[in-house]
Amino acid sequence: MRVRKNIATSDEGFLFNPTTGDSFSTNPIGTEIILLMKKDRTSKDIVDAICEKYDVDRALFERDLDDFTLQLKEFSLLE
Amino acid sequence: MEKQRYERPVILKMNTGLMNKFGTKTENEPVTHIESVPVKSLLSEYGSPLFVISEKQIRRNMQNAKRIFKTRYPKVRFAWSYKTNYMNAVCRIFHQEGSWAEVVSGFEYQKALGNGVPGEKIIFNGPDKTDEDLIAAAKNNSLIHIDHYDELYSLIRLSEELDLHPRVAIRVNMDTGIYPKWDRFGFNFENGQAWNALTRILNSKNLDLVGLHCHIGTFMLSTNAYATATRNLCELAWAAKERYNKMVEYIDLGGGFPSTNTLKGAYLPGTDTVPSIDQFADAITDVVLTYGFRQEEMPTLVLESGRALIDDAGYLLGTVLATKRLSDGRRATVLDFGLNSLFTSLWYEHKISPAKQHGSQTEEMVLFGPLCMNIDVVRESVVLPLLEKGDQLVVHKVGAYNMTQWMQFITMRPNIVLIDKDNNTHIIRKAETLEYIEQLEQIPDHLK
Amino acid sequence: MQTSTLREKFNRPLVIAVTGLNAIDSPGPGVAVIRAIRECKDFDVRIIGLSYESLEPGLYMHDIVDKTYQIPYPSGGTDSLFSRLKYIHEEEQLDVIIPNFDAELYNFMKLSSKLKEMGINTFLPEIEQFNARDKMRLSEFGKKYGMFVPKDKIIHEKRELQKLEDDFDYPMVVKGKFYDAVIARSKDQAEKAYEKILAKWGLPIIVQEFIKGTEINIAALGDGTGNVISIIPMRKLYITDKGKAWAGVTLDDDNLIELARKFIEVTKWRGGCELEVMLTSDGKPYIMEVNPRFPAWIYLTAAAGQNQPASLVKMALGEKVEPFTKYEVGKIFIRYAWDLITNIREFQMISANGEL
């Protein structure tokens, strides 16, 4: 799953989809995940990276990541 | 290296029509303790969900209401509205604070007697009084508030047959300018029905007219309506005095004072719009004081407040069972309590707080109860922190009507715990068990 | 001369917060209020915009509004509004707040003494004055003070529309308790209007007699003790499909001024208000509605020589303001649309951070 190349991300956690004109905001962890996705990291890489950095149960994060990905998809932010 | 605190990733579309997040900060202040008892330990000790009642808050409310009325009017009496919350422990707190009992069925009447309330301090209201109820109430010298002609004639007949001398009042309904008019109870003021009923009583040998009663509605937001009601009752009292030389001992304004809950469909929160008890007291006492009664014939003012005295003393604690995303993208949180325990979620936007500090990120969600029923919704839309399974929540102002209208449906009713004035906890009603639920059931032989 | 006292007293720009920056096709008054205030030569100002939504044009007009903060919707209640205003006050040291929406006024009135303690001044009607002109009590008000008001009925159920047919002729006006009014020409239309307004504004619904005539609006300012500071009557020359004035002209009519004067005097109105008047062909001025705040066309009062918003600022700060005695008749306003250009980043900033 890859974030569309033309999605503009900002340090403040804003996203702008130039294809649709929609703007989004994310929390810091959401921004981090999107940046990893932009670098074409696999789901497993993302899970590893986040679980390394944050105090979170792996299974719980996998579930949250699925839900987050689903939303990105619904917002047409994924390729 | 120590790991950072985790927060679920969220992404929100910036939608100009959305409620901005600056509107809802107060909802997200955690409520970690009820009085001084941690929510967490309450739930681990007594299970989830759990009703919690603060004895201190009840006494504060009662003493406050009494002070407000007594500083304005010399003769005031409160009668605890049993139907609002008839847990015996709760009733006894009100009785200790000097409240009489106000009941609306034989069942409630027996409960009041069981709580040690003397018969003459029980007000018996409502349309449902059997002959047995009427006889018992008359013999106990209770105050019988007559609701309709059928009851009036039953009581006249019974009192003559059995040589009883019941103390009675009539319930009066009227147009106080509010909607809906509660004209299904009592005798109508405007069309003269109330006066007819009064004359019927005043002309009877056995019935002793001691009071006049009304109850103009529930969750009243207009203090004017009480002024109108008081004026109408005073007018009836005056007429009885002038024409029959009979001054009633009391006028009973019933209940109806609101709590600060927010009604569904209300634009502004209840905490901002609900009149204070002081305002109601002003409206009522101004009328009686200036009506023209002589000092010695001033009637006692009776109030049957329920909701306003108990709602904010009750809490419902519960736990998140699951979170999910609905097909339209909305976040949904499933709780271990629903409509079955929290009946008032049908008409209130209950304030709900997280029981611990969460991150600052919030999201809009719908809160569902645990029942397999589509209508089991606790809040249709609420902004709360990012909740996970196992997170605990506190629902505020649930003391009125929930512990009497709750349903044993699909699940069993939970424990009710009272926190006393020294912050000790006591179970005042045990959680139901399968055995308790089934003890009244019987299985026909052919199904055994 | 009183005019220089404010500048001397403060020796710095006054910090004035204004709501209603939605200068859209059915505009809020905020931008017009600011324009009038900025034109006053008696003080300098820093204007703080208070917005509810991210696309209110005023918050992108950086020469009109110096800085904008989002505030919670009125339905959030006074607690959340107060905590937000407290934060804004810590950042900006506000001198005056001028709220401009009907739906928010109740909260601001409730908070006015708490705001005053913090050093923030308002100049709002008392809750009693506010309630007396409420749509739902307008007919009572008219009776009490002998003013013409349309017959109305407050209803809570759709089936009550049926019963109304005895007393009301079509067309009738179906109104929400805060906003919205629909002219219904049949039972079917009345029911549809009922549903639509119910969904948006809740109960109750007000049904009002339809009065035919010429629509006149009057902007008035009272000092709160019964004195009239300014009255400017205006006739709409051109109306949008939402019934809003797109152009209007100041009038000279003693009857209209007398009507507004009587209203201010009997209510002891404090602050700005707009009387919506229908002048029937036989010359009766019916008060259709009283808006408890400045109208969107308020700049016309400044243009005609009676700067109501600036006078309100002075009174809010405790200055004595002498009543205006004359204004220019025949001054016209023509509203126009202008496409303001900004960058997506500004939209994102206000949406996410609530400040711009």
Question: Which domains does chain B possess?
Answer: 21-53+312-432 (2.40.37.10), 86-305 (3.20.20.10)
Provide the pLDDT for residue B48: 97
The residues of C whose Cβ lies within 8 A of any Cβ of A are: 344-345, 347-349, 351-353
> Which chain A residues are Cβ-neighbours of B17 within 8 angstroms?
none
Per-residue pLDDT tens listing for chain B (448 residues): 688 888 899 888 876 544 444 444 445 789 999 999 999 999 999 999 999 999 999 999 999 999 999 999 999 999 999 999 999 999 999 999 999 999 999 999 999 999 999 999 999 999 999 999 999 999 999 999 999 999 999 999 999 999 999 999 999 999 988 777 888 899 999 999 999 999 999 999 999 999 999 999 888 888 999 999 999 999 999 999 999 999 999 999 999 999 999 988 777 888 888 899 999 999 999 999 999 999 999 999 999 999 999 999 999 999 999 999 998 888 999 999 999 999 999 999 999 999 999 887 888 899 999 998 889 999 998 989 999 999 999 999 999 999 999 999 999 999 999 999 999 999 999 999 999 999 999 999 999 9
Partners of chain B (3+ Cβ pairs below 8 A): A, C
Where in C224-297 does DSSP place strands (E)? 228-239, 245-250, 270-279, 285-291
Nearest to C132 by CA among C7, C323, C273, C267: C267
CA distance C81 to C18: 14
- How far A32 CA lies from chain C's nearest CA (Å)? 17
Q: Could you identify the residue written with the tokens 């199904």? A: B447
3-state class percentages of chain A: helix first, strand second, coil last, to nearest 5 = 50, 20, 30
Each residue's pLDDT tens digit, A32-73: 999 899 888 899 999 999 999 999 999 999 999 999 999 999
> Which chain B residues are Cβ-neighbours of C347 within 8 angstroms?
14
Provide the pLDDT for residue B16: 53
CA distance B217 to B176: 10
Provide the pLDDT for residue C240: 83
Mean pLDDT to the nearest integer, A18-40? 89
Q: How many CB pairs under 8 A join A and C?
A: 19
Residue C267 in tokens: 């209510």
Q: Cα separations (Å) of C240 from B1, B80, C190? A: 65, 58, 22
> Which chain B residues are Cβ-neighbours of A56 within 8 angstroms?
6
Residues in a beta bridge with A54: B4
Q: Could you give the residue ranges of the DSSP H alpha helices within A1-79?
A: 28-38, 43-53, 58-74
Count of CB atoms situated within 10 Å of the CB of B201: 23
DSSP summary character for residue B356: S
Domain boundaries along the sequence of chain A: 8-74
Q: How many CB pairs under 8 A join A and B?
A: 63
Residue B170 in tokens: 């009539």
Cis peptide before C171 (omega within 30 of 0): yes
DSSP summary character for residue B344: G
- Mean pLDDT for chain C overall: 90
C24, C73, C134: best to mutate for the B interface, most B CBs within 10 A: C73
Provide the pLDDT for residue B167: 97
Provide the pLDDT for residue B383: 87
Q: Cβ A64–B329 below 8 Å, yes or no?
A: no
Q: Cβ A12–C349 below 8 Å, yes or no?
A: yes
- How far C58 CA lies from chain B's nearest CA (Å)? 15
Strand duo B187-188 + B208-214: pairing: unpaired
Provide the pLDDT for residue B23: 43
> Which chain B residues are Cβ-neighbours of A74 within 8 angstroms?
329
The residues of B whose Cβ lies within 8 A of any Cβ of C are: 14, 16-17, 19-26, 179-180, 265-269, 271-272
Q: Cβ B269–C72 below 8 Å, yes or no?
A: no
> Which chain B residues are Cβ-neighbours of C53 within 8 angstroms?
16-17, 20
> Which chain C residues are Cβ-neighbours of A16 within 8 angstroms?
344, 348
Chain A residue nearest residue B8, CA to CA:
A64
Q: Which domains does chain C have, with CATH numbers?
A: 2-123+339-353 (3.40.50.20), 129-133+212-334 (3.30.470.20), 153-209 (3.30.1490.20)
- How far B330 CA lies from chain A's nearest CA (Å)? 10
- Report, as ranges of residue numbers, the positions in chain C whose pLDDT lies below 70: 1-4
Strand order in the sheet with C285-291: C285-291, C270-279, C214-223, C228-239, C245-250, C332-334
Each residue's pLDDT tens digit, C94-125: 999 999 998 899 999 999 999 999 999 999 99
- Alpha carbon C309 to its chain centroid, in Å, reads 11
- The ipTM value here is 0.94
Q: Which amino acid is at C54?
A: S
Chain B residue nearest residue C54, CA to CA:
B16
Provide the pLDDT for residue B442: 96
Q: Cβ A10–C344 below 8 Å, yes or no?
A: no
Give the DSSP letter string of B168-205: EEEEEE---S-SS--TTSSEESTTSHHHHHHHHHHT-S
Q: Cβ A64–B8 below 8 Å, yes or no?
A: yes
Mean pLDDT to the nearest integer, A24-30? 90
Count of CB atoms situated within 10 Å of the CB of A77: 23
Residue B225 in tokens: 């309506």
